Structure 1
Amino acid sequence: MATKIRLQRHGKKGKPFYYIVVADSRAPRDGRFIERLGSYNPNTNPATIDINFDKTLEWVNTGAQPTDTCRAILSYKGVMYKKHLQGGVAKGALTEEQANEKFAAWTDQKSGKITGKKSDLSTAKEEAKKAALIAEAKKKEDKAAAIAAKNAPPVEEVEVAEEEAEVEAPAAEEATEEGAE
């Protein structure tokens, strides 16, 4: 029987959630499966991948072919690299200890990259929150100033009207004096 390691879709529309399963290659995508190996949630950033490493490695070694997406997921988690190292041990190119050291070094490097990405994402999120808060405060101040200007009596117009009245009053007095003469 030809077996495949593939994704089985679950979740609602627009929010997919996948199980990583081993199934007969002729079975429908969401149909019967032989064994569930883990889960994959692409909705989180970075994507959440939970996998049973030993069972998956066992299935890959017995000949189960992963689909393209599952191959990428298994490479990300190190299953394919571990299989590659085991092939080197079987050929005599490496010893078991060397293979384990290489895999441990690769795992440490990978976890460092993941931690760095998570910290970068969290700092970017915090900076975006701060920028939004500053923009909101500025918008609130502008709105408050506009309301205050609208509700305040027009001081400039009152002063201008008083100055015009003072200028017109002496002119009217001069006109009456000229008419009296």
Structure 2
Amino acid sequence: MAVHLRLARTGRHKRPMYRLVAADSRKARDGRFLEILGIFDPLKDAGLPELKQDRVLTWLHQGAQPSVTVRTLLRRAGVWKQFETEKAAQKKTAAK
């Protein structure tokens, strides 16, 4: 099963809210998901998502693939940089 990190739309008409979810890649956009990892409200001034950073990192280390939009949100929140540094450290220790 291929797991993707992506956005699922919630909210009412012209007031979108998105959940950052870990979902099977074969499921529909707003369909069944494995876990809710955060919330993103694009209408807020900051435009930053509220994330469960430890769970996001866990899914990324297990091989979940983020969508392009989710990767951008993770970069804004600083989670993507943390993931890359942890991944580089693991490679460095594995090479020794």
Same fold (TM over 0.5): yes
Larger radius of gyration: 1
Q: Give, in whole Å, the separation in 2 of the partners of 1:48 and 1:2.
A: 27
Aligned residues: 93
Q: Which structure 2 residues correspond to residues 30-179 of structure 1 after superposition, within 5 A?
A: 30-92=30-92
Q: Give, in whole Å, the separation in 2 of the partners of 1:29 and 1:88.
A: 32
Q: Deviations over 1:146-179 (max 9, x none)?
A: xxxxxxxxxxxxxxxxxxxxxxxxxxxxxxxxxx
Partner in structure 1 of residue 17 of structure 2 = 17
Residue 14 of structure 1, CA deviation: 1.2
**Partner of 1:39: helix, strand, or coil?**
strand
Q: Give, in whole Å, the separation in 2 of the partners of 1:46 and 1:87.
A: 28
Q: Cα distance 1:90–1:48, how it changes in 2: closer, same or farther (>3 A)?
A: closer
Stretches of 4+ moved more than 4 A in 1? none
Q: Deviations over 1:114-142 (max 9, x none)?
A: xxxxxxxxxxxxxxxxxxxxxxxxxxxxx
Q: Which amino acid aligns with 1:83?
A: F
TM-score, structure 1 normalization = 0.49
TM-score, structure 2 normalization = 0.91
The runs of 5 or more residues in structure 2 that have no matched partner are: none
Alpha-carbon contact 2:3-2:64 (below 8 Å) kept:
yes
Q: Which amino acid aligns with 1:50?
A: E
The runs of 5 or more residues in structure 1 that have no matched partner are: 94-181
Q: Which has the higher helix share?
A: 1
Q: Give, in whole Å, the separation in 1 of the partners of 2:90 and 2:5.
A: 24
Q: Give, in whole Å, the separation in 2 of the partners of 1:48 and 1:79.
A: 12
Q: Cα distance 1:10–1:62, how it changes in 2: closer, same or farther (>3 A)?
A: same
Q: Give, in whole Å, the separation in 2 of the partners of 1:77 and 1:47.
A: 10
Q: Give, in whole Å, the separation in 2 of the partners of 1:39 and 1:78.
A: 16
Residue 79 of structure 1, CA deviation: 1.7
**Partner of 1:28: helix, strand, or coil?**
coil
Q: Taking CA–CA contacts closer than 8 Å with sequence separation of 6 or more, which of the two structures ends up with the larger relative contact order?
A: 2
